[in-house]
Structure 1
Amino acid sequence: MTAARTVRTRLSPSARRAQLLECALAAFAEHGVARATHSHVAERAGVSVPAVHSYFRTREDLVAAVLDEVEAYLIHIVSSSLGGPKTVAEALEALAVNFARDATEKPDMIKVWLDWSTGVRADVWPRYMDVLERLHGIAQKVLERGKREGIIPATLDVKAAARVYLGGGHTVALMQFSGAKPREFDAVIEQLVRSAMGVGFDAPLNSPG
């Protein structure tokens, strides 16, 4: 009898790197940005530790690659949610809803983001502050448009409002992980939108004040 042979499919370098990066994101979500290692990634990918090192030579390289993914995700979700032909209120609501959705659909990405955002003593903190400044700038432009359209009070400090609003993204994501009910999300999202726009609950959104 001829012994059965197992045919292994060899991944291309780019496909292997993408696979390892996906496993790295999961490892960082589980162990944290400060504690995840090449060994954690290798275990998830089913490869040797040296194989991971061949793509990410040092831990700094591994961390940088994972944070590149998270940074790209954050810039994309904020710019795409707040952009396009939407009213200011619709744009602000879309971002909050998308953060809540991704806490379920992309939990590893969201968990790494939340961990990164609290690492104030870590070497990666300055990079997060740079990313956050870019996100604030995107949100500020939407609020400034609201001022021009007359639906946001001229006295509103858009920089402060953008900071508070994006900080609410943490709350929405954490609510999803804690199993909050839809009506609870609706209440928090409306509060975030109205607070960012400087509009009370006694006034309709999108109407010139």
Structure 2
Amino acid sequence: MARNDIMVARKDNIIDSALQVFAEKGYADATMTDIAKKAGVSTPALYEYFKTKEDLLFAIPEKFMEEPIRILEYVAPYLRGAEAKIRGIVQGYLTVYDTNPLYTSLVMLELKTNRKFLKTKAYGMVRKVSGGILGVIQEGIKDGTFKDNTDAFLIRSMILGTIEHLCIRKLLLGEPRNLPQYTDAIVDTILNSIRKESKHFSINLNINDLVTQKIEATDNAEKKESPESKRKKR
């Protein structure tokens, strides 16, 4: 294995170990020594990769967001229409959180309240995905899928807020056990309020009125008929 590959593998191991330690002890109580021990490296070696515990904290979402973003970018061109794209993004979010409970705990209970996180590369990756949701909603408004007066920012907040609520509930109460199964419920419940309604035209006509109108039209036509036309018919 090349030296660069060894360093990448060691860095990934340190990040994974940090995630486990943060989950076990909490970010505030965890130390770099704890993380080094978990990763099987010396504390000085750990500092060669990460200068502070906070740097290590912010490296975790950066690692975990790379793969979902790659998958989303690969799948997106095959999803037709705004609704299908939103459904795909929501399912992606729920799948990542469902299959990585330690990461979910870190995001929901630590990173969401850390203002410094907003200035990191990892947060830029998070914004890329959330910005994608906003863009798709705006696309749906433009192509007529959603109502013209739809507040794209509000709808995005409703989607992400619902996902976060389900994740926190699972972390604290253990339910729901399967997050991805809520994809359709989340998308349909929220989008039902902004789908553009079909235009319905009234066809409730009184049949008696139609008959009367037909008779009157026939009578009027006969009255207007010229004498010459009547002679030809005879």
Same fold (TM over 0.5): yes
**What is the Cα deviation at residue 153 of structure 1?**
0.5
Q: Higher Cα Rg: structure 1 or 2? A: 2
* 3-state DSSP of counterpart to 1:57: coil
Q: Distance in 2 between matches of 1:23 and 1:206?
A: 49
**What is the Cα deviation at residue 157 of structure 1?**
0.7
The equivalent of 1:13 in structure 2 is 7
Alpha-carbon contact 2:86-2:187 (below 8 Å) kept: yes
Does 1:43 pair with 2:37? yes
**What is the Cα deviation at residue 106 of structure 1?**
1.9
Alpha-carbon contact 2:90-2:183 (below 8 Å) kept: yes
Alpha-carbon contact 1:81-1:95 (below 8 Å) kept: no
Larger relative contact order (Cα-Cα within 8 Å, sequence gap ≥ 6) = 1
C-alpha RMSD of the superposition = 3.6
Does 1:84 pair with 2:51? no
Paired AA for residue 30 in structure 2:
A
Q: Distance in 1 between matches of 2:38 and 2:196?
A: 48
The equivalent of 2:24 in structure 1 is 30
Alpha-carbon contact 1:23-1:41 (below 8 Å) kept: yes
Alpha-carbon contact 1:117-1:125 (below 8 Å) kept: no
Alpha-carbon contact 2:159-2:190 (below 8 Å) kept: yes
The equivalent of 2:149 in structure 1 is 155
Does 1:194 pair with 2:188? yes
Q: Equivalent of 1:180, from 159, 168, 176?
A: 176
The TM-score, its normalising length taken from structure 2, stands at 0.63
The TM-score, its normalising length taken from structure 1, stands at 0.69
Offset from partner CA, 1:115-164 (integer Å, 9 cap, x none):
244315x5435558766654432111111111122111111011221122
Paired AA for residue 20 in structure 1:
I
* 3-state DSSP of counterpart to 1:151: coil
* 3-state DSSP of counterpart to 2:113: coil
Does 1:170 pair with 2:164? yes
Alpha-carbon contact 1:82-1:91 (below 8 Å) kept: no
Offset from partner CA, 1:55-80 (integer Å, 9 cap, x none):
22332432342343255467x17954
Alpha-carbon contact 2:94-2:183 (below 8 Å) kept: no
Change (3 A) 1:140 1:123: closer
Alignment: residue pair count: 191
Change (3 A) 1:181 1:206: farther
* 3-state DSSP of counterpart to 1:124: helix
The equivalent of 1:115 in structure 2 is 109
Q: Equivalent of 1:140, from 128, 134, 144?
A: 134
Q: Distance in 2 between matches of 1:118 and 1:135?
A: 16
The equivalent of 1:97 in structure 2 is 91
Identity in percent: 18
**What is the Cα deviation at residue 189 of structure 1?**
3.7
Paired AA for residue 76 in structure 2:
G
More helix by share: 2
**What is the Cα deviation at residue 175 of structure 1?**
4.9
Paired AA for residue 12 in structure 1:
I
Paired AA for residue 84 in structure 1:
P
Change (3 A) 1:12 1:137: closer
